[in-house]
A and B are shown apart, each in its own frame.
Chain A
Amino acid sequence: MNDQTPITREQRIEKLQGQGCSRKRVEDVRFTQGKGNYVDDIKLPGMLFGDFVRSPYGHANVKSINTEAALKVPGVLAVITAEDLKPLNLHYMPTLAGDVQAVLADEKVLFQGQEVAFVVATDRYAAADGVEAVEVDYEALPVINDPHKSMDDDAPTLREDIAGKMEGAHGARKHNNHIFFWEEGDKEGTDKALADAEVVVEEQITYQRVHPCPLETCGCVASMDKITGKLTVWGTFQAPHAVRTVASLITNIAEHNIRIISPDIGGGFGNKVGVYPGYICSIVASIVTGAPVKWVEDRIENLTATAFARDYHMTGKLAATKEGIITGLSAYVLADHGAFDACADPTKFPAGFFSIVTGAYDIPVAHVGVDGVYTNKAPGGVAYRCSFRVTEAAYLIERMIDILARKLDMDPAEIRMKNFIKKEQFPYDSALGWEYDSGDYHTAMEKALDTIDYKALRAEQAENRAAFDRGETRTLMGIGVAFFTEIVGAGPVKNCDILGLGMFDSCEIRIHPTGSATARLGTISQGQGHATTFPQIIASEIGIPAEDITLEEGDTDTAPYGLGTYGSRSTPVAGAATAMAARKIKAKAQMIAAYLLEVHDSDLEWDVDRFQVKGNPELHKTMKEIAFAAYTQAIPGLEPGLEAVSYYDPPNMTYPFGAYIGVVDIDVDTGEVDVRRFYALDDCGTRINPMIIEGQVHGGLTEALAIVMGQDISYDEIGNMSGSSLMDFFLPTAVETPNWETGFTETPSPHHPIGAKGVGESPNVGGVPALSNAVHDAFAHKGLTHTQMPHDHWRVWKTAQSLGLTE
């Protein structure tokens, strides 16, 4: 093999496009040309289309369903109802949270938009006509949309199917509308800290119901091949292997006869983790008709019926000294899970990782309690661009710290610095049981404050406030500071599983004879750029250029088993598996090189893309040469070939962190909030592709802006959901999105093979409190303590009005 080896070592490194390189996204070649292949692009011969009849009521008995007229609609082949699914025992399906969810309404509907019947037709138009022709007779029932009223004595029982069953998936239920109570920490000690404290602040903080709203809605194509007995399902699945296992368990089709394929996915953000009635109905329809069946929800259906996020009603209490040292934290949450508990959390954590609520602070004692309740709202509670319930926790602690600072008349940045866990305290055991792997919070905060020139901003704000009081301006300036610690990379199999499936992940690497490679992972990109970044990890590990490595994900027939992509787990878990699989290859490559160079293994050292003899680098074998030898030579004591697989069970979570500062100008007369500047400093450990990190941060911040400034899924008192179209649900465009400034520090994770921590969700976790704190800060000197999100123009104007600031 005559390698065209670049001359210098630097050129060899550059050629790899490995870790730390802002390699351009390989996915974009097809996306920018309109050549992506999404679920709705899949067209099979004879394919049928399914569409749902959905409930207009929030809570009603279904007295009868008349399908006669619908079946007469030309093109309509079948109308499936719960009665048809019952004999198959498929009218309910398991949720990821240990509950069950009605696939089609079983005698009653529990939320507006709930699936009542599934119409199967030869084309999409006929299916829609069929839906319109199905006559459903409802009897309206009283609606509960306020979680605070769910457990009232006289509250109507929502879930008749589990009424009286007082033992739930997460312990005892204290009311028919109660799902679970979960707690962590030292209640007695926390109560004592609060009782003994010099200063206590308490606040009710609600994180409103929002929705991930991915640009591509959920959908699938199910195809049952009656000849081979094999079921293939293409779908918008963030966890294809988990879907395969669940599908096998509930349909009794053997798992090897089910093939789940996630093609290109247009954004997930947690919305595509769960299992939806559309999947089950499409599979049933395909089995019944023998033809492929496609179901793709429209935007209203996506916002109305597939998984929402948040709806956390939190009470925070902080105990502190007069100097602002926090001595205790208590958090209680009323969690509105909607009609079915379809959260996507690791099984043992019904409130996710909400116990990260002590944040970046050295809080000696803390307690959290969470009550989950049913209401007449859509099910869900997924992690919308955050690890499980982490953004709720970060929002609570970051608002509480600001409220404490205000009470003590301290600067919000200063009080944070005072309470940070110090660099030398890592690994740090939090009061709520987590072992923070690493961190350097003071350095990150100082860098953020310097970069944005915090002192100058505060001076400008003082001038602005004086000018406002003199009547010279109608604009108030707000500065929002937030510091967050995430907990991502779920997770260690010893305590993290979903439906019993351990949350490890996997990578298989095959090096081909001519020195290129194919890698397959148990994860699935929904826009994160896996095909770009994972080859970079391999390139740095084994010296094959990233462009010579193809990444495949999302086909359960070929990819190794993994738990999928959400909760910023791909890099911490599958990224670690990738590095470990590469190291197995490298170990074998070293033996091959030793044979070829006729030296002992230990006489060799690794250098960029080759093994060389120590002290004599002229004697070397590149990985490309080694790969060729692995397939062409008989090497004593070694199997031919060069491939490896790794299943990685992470020893701990990773704890990325960041310091975010936002500056807003608020027009008190219109309530308009203009984000003048926003600086996001992220520490995600080792950085694999800085450009992709920056892109992730931009996207997450934009979603944070959306949540803080407008996203709101609300229900009226009779059960109507508002915010179900993009006319009402706020999705920022370039017009509303400010310029994001980004920065970083780099504190590698000590337990991750390459020190990476994950970053996809940090900007949402930190962005929400930073922007909300900025809005509050603008009015803080006028006496505002807390007001609920979203801070849309109307609410901000109402706040200004209530403070007597409007004209």
Chain B
Amino acid sequence: MKIDYRSGNSIKTQIPLDYKEYLKRKEDKQQQQQQQQQSTQPTGAITYKRKDRLDEQFRQIFMKTGIVTQASGSCYLEIEKTKVLCSVYGPRATPKTELFETAKLNCELKYATFSSNKEKFDYLENTKEKDQSLIIYQSIIGSLRLDKYPKTVVDVYILVLNDDGDVLVSAITAASMALADAGVEMYDMVASCSAVCIKDATLINPTAQEETLTEGAGKILVSKMPSHNNITQLIQTGELNYNNVLESVNLCIDGSDKIYSIMKQNLIDSLLRQQKKDGDGNEINGITTNAADDQMEE
């Protein structure tokens, strides 16, 4: 039984667009048509210049673990306006015995209905959410030592509160942090970075506006475990030439290394906070946290 809460409203409603934007789009379309009439070669690509930061510059990142008290581990992550919350439950025992040797990882991403002012999100899971859930799943599953927890389930839930671009990167990073916070054994945390290619420019950490600037723009997403120097996932969509791909993958790898250092610092900070709370001399459980300490010493 799935209930749509809005069945109380029988009136069809829509999100209105901005009038200025509408006029501008109309003009652009006319211009394009004129250009197409003049020359047979399409000149689709739009030049775009970032105003407030460099092309390879990241927006401000804020993250905090241990936000959700009911969860085993959680992380709240903000990349300026993009806001994501992730909580992890488990590993918990499951009555289903189909998966005998390893733990099962469930990954669920949900957009809040008010997270976007262009797209409508329903209360039921739509294909976009399903798709992105799978991407996140594939990014982090390689880093986890699920064989340590036979016959159990680990649940990862992600809620997107505000979508201003780069949701996937935020979600993957938050999920990995939350898993570390929950004390699930892992080889390394997964850091992620994405880029959009518009004409010749490669824009790291794009905003929602930059993501939707051109249809079919080349997009690159890299997730990696920096201390192993392993890439767990590499996604390329849209039209890109070979050199562009190489260049943007390299940029993304550098970007994720930077994110990784922030993640590590945050985790250590949260540990120290916890230690203070527990009182000095108390033993801290959780293997990942020790691993993070070891890495610091290295």
* A and B from one complex: no
Residues of A within 8 A of B (CB): none
Enumerate chain B interface residues (CB-CB to A < 8 A): none
